[in-house]
Structure 1
């Protein structure tokens, strides 16, 4: 199932929907037509538990092509938001989780050449999250080294503490895309949150794909383009610490809750690692994509300016 948070117009409230063909189906309204209460909020839906996915999938199949009035709208007529517009707590970021990125970072970012023995965990606050088409802010007074990082994001579906690697994937609700925007010149004594946690530095989306549709999350192509030029391309099979290891490690110290997000790390090809180094500037358009999920596009704008209009096709196959 491909789930979204959307607005039907600029003044309407955010709603929970599912994409079926080229339509967004409003789940709360569809449920109301058949006497099946469903939430209008993504976090509430995730919290219901895995059976909610099966129930909604059956509901969508039963009504496909015959949607009740006011339950479906063409995808092109709605505004997609981040699937989880306001996470309950900080996003768990994972640094240095692709071998080639460890090497390029050691050359340009003063990190160790040695492969990490445990996951390198940092965080991005909820205020850093933006949705597809929203503007990444470039504040030249703060940074002149704004960088990109495409990543597969894991969304937790079940509460867990001390989760074993064997059971870890059973705690996953689904997957989406995150672009871990980073101000490289804002690292402070080895601490990354100011560099990575600024407002708009976590573009997220465009959809949340449930785990059953992804299959093996360790065999997904992913990449990133800036102004149409490919900068990153790899496969999640090259993750140094796989998703079960990340869930087990984080949950050994911190309780994971439904809706929590883990950004699994980026492959090589970031701007800081290129020769010469490359950075994002106002007017650029960044496209992060992951196989089976789609493409997340965001313009870069100077702080205090309006983003230039970007033609968006939010969902596409790769």
Structure 2
């Protein structure tokens, strides 16, 4: 039986959205037990009154890490928070994975300092799946903020982990791996990026060279590796731009007279299809790769559908024994 530790108090719609996702997912994943951490009375109250709590366990906690909390201080001081207690379950092998919609920095700190990194992995990294012109396939980008500073050797490890994830979890054969840089030539970028290019070229990855920011969503690469500072900025830029464009498009169609409104009605199926192609719900959450357990972070605003996909994502990662694979991959790097 797989056991997923769930921070039931994390996210804007907790605990209801999380409970709704558990109810939906457990029907499809009968071999999964969901351990819900949080105010037990509130969490149980989010279930239907006649629910039998099948495949569900509860661990009562008395504290919650807020989005405004400083991450490292929070996990040290709020030891009875839903996130910290859940992370300790994974550390102690009482659970196989951790899912939380809470404070991203605190979850990263919990993964790194409580669960601990895999021996041989220099720095864990955060990796979401993003949409592209290829539709449902999308691409992975790593790191998007777990590391403020990076070394070329870190980027190589992240590329190796992301490559395996793309193969086994997203079912992409021989993924194309690219390095985010400010030009296509191998001598572009600062010394760190130049060294990363050289090291990636010497691996057995399907490394296709540098990729520029304007090419990311064209589907030219299945895995994009970058330093955490740049990756976080790019992620926020993509999310913000997509939101603004959709709002501007809607405003233009609905507030520019009768003819655009008629056109909007005629174009509704195409617009719905476009929105579906760029809907990230089906991707689940961002994965913290390199720690000694599965850690997944859906967006804090996620609804039950997104969380449902995150649970399915975790289930597939456990089926593929992802942590054991990474442990084997980096065993010769142990220090």
TM range (shorter): under 0.3
Query: Which of 1 and 2 has greater Rg?
Result: 2
TM value normalised by structure 1: 0.28
Higher fraction of strand:
1
Higher fraction of helix:
2
